[in-house]
Amino acid sequence: MFVAGPSLKEAIDAAGPLPPRSVRTLAVGLASALGEIHRVGLVHRDLKPSNVLLTDDGPRVIDFGIARAAEGAADITHTGAIIGSPGFMSPEQANGLPVTPASDVFSLGSLLAMAATGHAPFGGTSTPQVLYNVVHGSPDLTSLDPDSRRLIEPCLAKDPRQRPTPAQILDFLGVVSPGAMPWPPSVHALIARQKAAVDQALAVPVPPTGKRRGRKIAVAAATAVVAAGAVTTVVLVNRDSPARPIAQQPSATAPPGDPFSLAALRTVDPCRLLSTDSLPRSGPILQPNPDASELSDCGYYFAENGTGSSGSLSIRLAQPVRGGIGTATKIGRFDAAENPDGNSCTEAGENPSASRFALEFTAIRTAATACAVAREAAEVVLGAVQGNPPRFDATQRTLTGQDWCSASVKQQLASSTGGDFRPETQSLHRCYWGADKNAYSVGVFASSKATRVRADAREIEIDGVKMFEKATDEDCEISWDYVIRPDADARGEQLTVARRGGTAGPGFCDQAREVMKAVKNGLPPTK
């Protein structure tokens, strides 16, 4: 079967690294493919740029010459043999050890890094040096954009147990709508040339009987094109609808009454979940420290008899999950990972209603008691969330209940920029809107009296309202103190619009101001 499209290697050699939008499309397609491969009990074992084709409707995985059933992946040849491509194999594969589906995820991370940067993350002047770097070295991810790095870095964990599964990768990426041109124009031009060459070869007429030489030449030409396309075995990962990548995205809302839905958690005030004596077993006296920039986070000091601090506790109601969590402990209905580290200990439990996020509790105290504090805090907070937790005061001016990934915000972005944006929940109170050229982060940060001092920002006005603008080489951020509370310990709300990507220059912030204006005008009436 012939599929028109250059390999990823050929595309990068000809056109350079892929832009972030195309890397995201590539990641969704390949994670979907690996999910299907692993579902039937296989491990590909040689996922690399030359074994991925870029077609008009997405990527295709090819060449299963060394694929093996997961339970027998080690017996393809003699013990200790290394099978695969050095720059893209996993550490366990490089060591000649048995491989699991997690090995393919490592290869996926290396492949995506090369797609985004143009070079493999593990370099070297010889094969032994490359293999050594794969097993012992750190990947070179310095030139990755932040979003690509958050995707790729967990895939390259040395420990296979720390790598995300294909399903978790899809969950992290969310829905990527199929577009007419998933790749840069130069790649689609390569695809078109391959199609034209095949059409031309197959259009040669069959010669009359006795004059078959010309037909042999035509068939040979078509065969050469197929070989150039490097097609051996092609997997169409979504056979029912190959043009639409398989993806999953947790809903930002849940059925009424679900206390752990993102919509319900947005209204919870984390700085009122614990009182002074909420942790009687582990014993610290708690004093709120609401300095966190996220409205879904809060810190607490440990005060011993009111004479000073002897530790701290932090609560995060929606911490993004990057590589999955363990199940070392059980807290109510939560499977939680307990992670002690010196004098600190973290308990993290995956949100049962939004698997991309965890509820996280970190205590800093003596090594012997930090985990006890974190575990008890988790028990108390989870119990409170399931009951009737304290919420932000909805009778006052507030933006805490807003869903910044909603269709109305997308409409505001489209009306002010003309772009087509795709949402990704960053936190309970912020959304990242990706687009072909420039992306925007829209939402609310917690602000205090201290954060309103902005020596590195300039004051501007939008519709007569004072705001602050801060520009860097690649970003432009505009913030508006929507809620100011005079009490230094009470958190205000800072509406922020940030333009991400591109090259800052004259007029770069103009579009961000238009977006802020549209978002501001779309806010609900003040209560």
- Residue 374: which of 281, 296, 290, 294 has the closest Cα? 281
Q: How confident is the model at residue 332 (pLDDT cuts 50, 70, 90)?
A: low
Question: For 449-507, what is each residue's pLDDT tens digit?
Answer: 545 556 578 889 999 999 999 887 778 889 998 887 665 556 788 999 998 876 656 67
The CATH number given to 407-521 is 3.40.1000
What integer pLDDT is reported at residue 72 of this predicted model?
44
Residue 65 has pLDDT above 70, yes or no: no
- CA neighbor of 175 nearest in space, from 351, 25, 23, 323: 25
What is the C-alpha radius of gyration for the chain, rounded to an integer number of angstroms? 27
Which of 72-81, 393-402, 500-509 shows the lowest mean pLDDT across its residues?
Answer: 72-81
CATH of 11-173, one of 1.10.760.10, 3.40.50.300, 1.10.3720.10, 1.10.510.10: 1.10.510.10
pLDDT of residue 76: 37
- The residues, any chain, with a CB within 8 Å of residue 301's CB and separated by 6 or more, are 286, 287, 288, 289, 309, 311, 312
CATH code for the domain defined by 262-386: 3.40.1000
Of 324-328, 487-491, 514-518, which one has max mean pLDDT? 514-518
How many whole angstroms separate alpha carbon 218 and alpha carbon 190? 21
Question: Which of the residues are catalytic?
Answer: 46
pLDDT computed for residue 26 by the predictor? 94
Under the banding of pLDDT at 50, 70 and 90, the label for residue 437 is: low
Phi and psi angles of residue 60, each rounded to the nearest 5 degrees, phi first: -130, 135
First CA to last CA distance, the chain: 63
Mean pLDDT rounded to a whole number for the chain: 77
Sequence-ordered list of residues with C-beta below 8 angstroms from that of 102, at least 6 positions apart, any chain: 90, 160, 161, 163, 165
- The DSSP secondary structure of 156-206, one letter per residue, reads T-SSGGGSPPHHHHHHHH------S-SS-HHHHHHHHHHHHHHHHHHTSPP
- Specify the pTM: 0.51
CB proximity list for 504: less than 8 A, separation 6 or greater: 471, 472, 473, 474, 475, 476
Higher pLDDT: 199 or 90? It is: 90
pLDDT tens-digit series, residues 271-287? 889 988 899 888 888 88
